[in-house]
Amino acid sequence: MILKMNRAGILMWLLCVPFTLHAQPPVADMHLHYKWTQQDVTSPADAIALLEQQNIVMGVVIGTPAELALELQSLAPDRIVSIFSPYREGGDWHRWAYDGSTVTRARAALASGRYQGIGELHVIGGFAPTLEKAVVLKKLLALGAEFEVPVMIHTEFSRPDFMLNVCGQFPDTHILWAHSGALLEPGAVERVLAHCDNVRGGLGARDPWRFVNNPLTSEAGTLLPEWKALFLKYPERFMVGSDPVWPVDQLDRWDEADSGWQELGRFWTFHRSWLAQLPADVARQIGCENAVALFGRSEQLKCN
Ligand SMILES: [Zn+2]
């Protein structure tokens, strides 16, 4: 369609273009997966374009296998942070914790300088070793401190005890707590934050479609008061991620294409809706600044 515009119309159109492209405030996504089951649906170039569309100025990418994150990083080095995932094939989400080669591979990955973190490491009740026997996890946490990079851990238990113990034992490691414990209510999340300064809570997949048992908002979309109070008490300790995995009826599907990146708008529309209910400075910290600062990109990337 060709629109006929006079000069004033063209000027207005030109003035409006930058605002319509980036009408939404900039955000940082601390939880992106790029898996081999996602490549056919969303190419690396498509993924970068989707981040641009959503005004996601920084994205932390977990590749499965790890090298896939580097494909995104090579296309947009300022925008993408790659963290090292030890998962190479289906089932590694529970095997990694018993496999000593995980530590060797993680050390080599960090030493290469191509990865700025480790994760996501799943520690799920019924599959994970007890903390006393979690030798691989402990060595990875020590590596995080040695290389001064964060370690992203996904815990899934009905109580916060595992994280309370882990974070206390590794005070020099920055722990990114994926989904802030996934199942836990805000009071349990607060116990961990109060106990350990080194933990930052992620809010990826705490949306109406995934971890629904302790939702952030009412069905009408209002941020629940317990969560709001927690965000206001610890504005420097939370971050948002989309966790673009879809469909979500089974953990770590390998037999079906994953269209999660095509749902990026859905996930971020939800997160932006509750962020907008916080004071602007807190929303900017949680939505963008905390993640950008943790990965040392505050100089290059602007959150306003
Ligand atoms: Zn997770």
Per-residue pLDDT tens over the stretch 213-257: 899 999 999 999 999 999 999 999 999 999 999 887 655 565 678
Ranges of beta strands (E only) in 157-208 are 175-177, 199-202
User: How far away, in angstroms, is 33 Cα from ligand 1 center?
Assistant: 9
- pLDDT mean over 59-65: 96
Query: What is the model's pLDDT at position 94?
Result: 87
User: How far away, in angstroms, is 118 Cα from ligand 1 center?
Assistant: 13
CATH number of 25-294: 3.20.20.140
Asked if pLDDT for residue 102 goes beyond 50, the answer is yes
User: How far away, in angstroms, is 75 Cα from ligand 1 center?
Assistant: 25
Percent of the chain with pLDDT strictly greater than 90: 80
Q: Tell me the backbone φ, ψ of residue 176, rounded to 5 degrees.
A: -95, 115
User: How far away, in angstroms, is 120 Cα from ligand 1 center?
Assistant: 7
Helix, coil or strand: residue 126: coil
CB 117 within 8 A of CB 81: yes
User: How far away, in angstroms, is 19 Cα from ligand 1 center?
Assistant: 34
User: How far away, in angstroms, is 93 Cα from ligand 1 center?
Assistant: 10
Q: Share the mean pLDDT of the chain.
A: 91
User: How far away, in angstroms, is 294 Cα from ligand 1 center?
Assistant: 19
Of 14-28, 158-172, 263-277, the one with minimum mean pLDDT is: 14-28
- pLDDT mean over 29-46: 95
Q: How confident is the model at residue 93 (pLDDT cuts 50, 70, 90)?
A: confident
How far is it, in rounded angstroms, from Cα 84 to Cα 219? Answer: 36
Asked if pLDDT for residue 22 goes beyond 80, the answer is no
Q: How confident is the model at residue 90 (pLDDT cuts 50, 70, 90)?
A: confident
- pLDDT mean over 51-76: 97
How far is it, in rounded angstroms, from Cα 67 to Cα 289? Answer: 27
User: How far away, in angstroms, is 73 Cα from ligand 1 center?
Assistant: 21
Per-residue pLDDT tens over the stretch 170-203: 999 999 999 999 999 999 999 999 999 999 999 9
User: How far away, in angstroms, is 278 Cα from ligand 1 center?
Assistant: 25
| Tally: H helices and E strands in the chain | 12, 8
Query: What is the model's pLDDT at position 254?
Result: 59
Per-residue pLDDT tens over the stretch 120-133: 999 998 888 988 89
- Six-digit token pair at 63? 């590749």
Asked if pLDDT for residue 31 goes beyond 80, the answer is yes
User: How far away, in angstroms, is 285 Cα from ligand 1 center?
Assistant: 22
Per-residue pLDDT tens over the stretch 39-57: 989 999 999 999 999 999 9
Please report, for the chain, the start and end positions of each structural domain, with discontinuous segments joined by +. Answer: 25-294
User: How far away, in angstroms, is 167 Cα from ligand 1 center?
Assistant: 18
Q: Would you call 72 exposed, middle or buried from its count of C-beta atoms within 10 A (0-12, 13-18, 19+)? A: buried
User: How far away, in angstroms, is 165 Cα from ligand 1 center?
Assistant: 20
User: How far away, in angstroms, is 244 Cα from ligand 1 center?
Assistant: 10
User: How far away, in angstroms, is 204 Cα from ligand 1 center?
Assistant: 8
- Show Cβ contacts of residue 256 under 8 Å, excluding neighbours closer than 6 positions: 37, 247
User: How far away, in angstroms, is 166 Cα from ligand 1 center?
Assistant: 17
Q: How confident is the model at residue 18 (pLDDT cuts 50, 70, 90)?
A: very low
- Six-digit token pair at 198? 């080194």
Query: What is the model's pLDDT at position 249?
Result: 62
Residues within 5 Å of ion ligand 1 by Cβ? 154, 178
